[in-house]
Amino acid sequence: MTPAEGLSGAQQVLVPDLATDFDRRTLLAHTDVVVHLAAIAHRAAPEAEIRRVNVDATLRLAEAAGGLARRFVFMSSAKVHGEDSGDRAYAETDPTRPQDAYGRAKLEAERALSDLAARSGMELALIRPPLVYGPGAKANFLHLLRWVDSGLPLPLASVHNRRSLIYVGNLADAVARCVEHPSAPGSLLVGDNEIVSTPELTRRIARSLGGRARLVRMPTGFLRFLGTVSGRGEEIKRLTGNLVIDTSKSRRLLDWHPPRTLDEGLAETVRWFRSGRG
């Protein structure tokens, strides 16, 4: 299904390269709110290429929207705060310390957009989600889904961490609220109601798949060592570390609550996975 299918009155315009020259002003004519989601996220790319697409193309679109659109909604990431929240939850007022090229690009785009919005008067809503799962999931979540489905043992039983997630349908609902709500401008962390450990998430995935997770014990330090020597150190850090966000601001300001539970989101994800598209 193309992005425009299923949306009444939607028109799809294909742009081969977001950062190249094309007529953005005509594209945005009669537009009240721009929602910008496009980015390089789940594929390896040089940092310069990530910046060209995730920063430069974003700013050029926002510049074209100036004087046309009332509001610009930008999909950023909780990764602007870092990769591990430790024993607390990230809040919007916490320092920004991105650890990878994607997080650095998102933060740079946020800052450039904030400067532009201040000059132009255009409203700016910055949405910072944690890991997004659901139909179409890629990268680490898809790897975990495939591993659990394989029935192979996972050395995660000794992991005691906490992770925030957001189901893609819940994220879409939050975006829709940011399009309309007068209190949306600013930075907003959004996530599901539940915070889970990686072992608990694995068990919940297995249950949605109709089976049981095979979790075995392995010291977390040794697991991280194996990740480092195998070239999968960053992936193992994400599986074993904490990344929790405080969503109280978005819930209070937007009067927003995720419409789907974790189990409902996982069920939808598994249906997509079982369809052979994963």
Per-residue model confidence as pLDDT tens digits over 22-53: 888 888 888 999 999 999 987 788 999 999 99
CA 84 to chain centre: 15
Q: Please tell me the distance from the alpha carbon of residue 69 to that of residue 61, in angstroms, as a whole number.
A: 11
pTM of the model: 0.91
Residue 162 has pLDDT above 90, yes or no: yes
Per-residue pLDDT band at 11 (split at 50, 70, 90): confident
- What average pLDDT score do residues 209-221 get? 91
- What CATH number should be reported for the domain whose range is 8-128? 3.40.50.720
Q: Which residue has the higher pLDDT, 1 or 211?
A: 211
What is the pLDDT, as a whole number, of residue 85? Answer: 95
Report the catalytic residues.
102
- What average pLDDT score do residues 133-162 get? 92
What is the pLDDT, as a whole number, of residue 1? Answer: 35
- What average pLDDT score do residues 152-169 get? 94
Q: Please tell me the distance from the alpha carbon of residue 95 to that of residue 128, in angstroms, as a whole number.
A: 14
Nearest to 241 by CA among 165, 159, 171: 159
- What average pLDDT score do residues 177-194 get? 97
What is the pLDDT, as a whole number, of residue 9? Answer: 66
Tokens standing for residue 86: 């430790």
What is the pLDDT, as a whole number, of residue 278? Answer: 61
What is the pLDDT, as a whole number, of residue 118? Answer: 95
Q: Which residue has the higher pLDDT, 84 or 2?
A: 84
pLDDT over 70, % of the chain = 96
Question: CA 272 → CA 96, 132, 208, 264, distances in Å?
Answer: 35, 15, 12, 13
Question: Around 88, how many Cα atoms within 13 Å sit in the side-chain half-sphere?
Answer: 5
What is the pLDDT, as a whole number, of residue 139? Answer: 84
Among left, alpha and beta (phi > 0; psi -120 to 50; other), residue 186 is left
Are 130 and 78 in contact by the 8 Å Cβ rule? The answer is yes
Per-residue pLDDT band at 5 (split at 50, 70, 90): very low
- The tens digit of pLDDT for each residue in 59-109 reads 999 999 988 999 999 999 999 999 999 999 999 999 999 999 999 999 999
Are 92 and 77 in contact by the 8 Å Cβ rule? The answer is no
What is the pLDDT, as a whole number, of residue 8? Answer: 62
Q: Residue 276 carries which DSSP code?
A: I
Name, in order, each residue with C-beta under 8 angstroms of 55's C-beta and a sequence gap of 6 or more. 105, 108, 109, 112
Average pLDDT in the chain: 91
Name, in order, each residue with C-beta under 8 angstroms of 240's C-beta and a sequence gap of 6 or more. 156, 159, 161, 198, 220, 223, 224
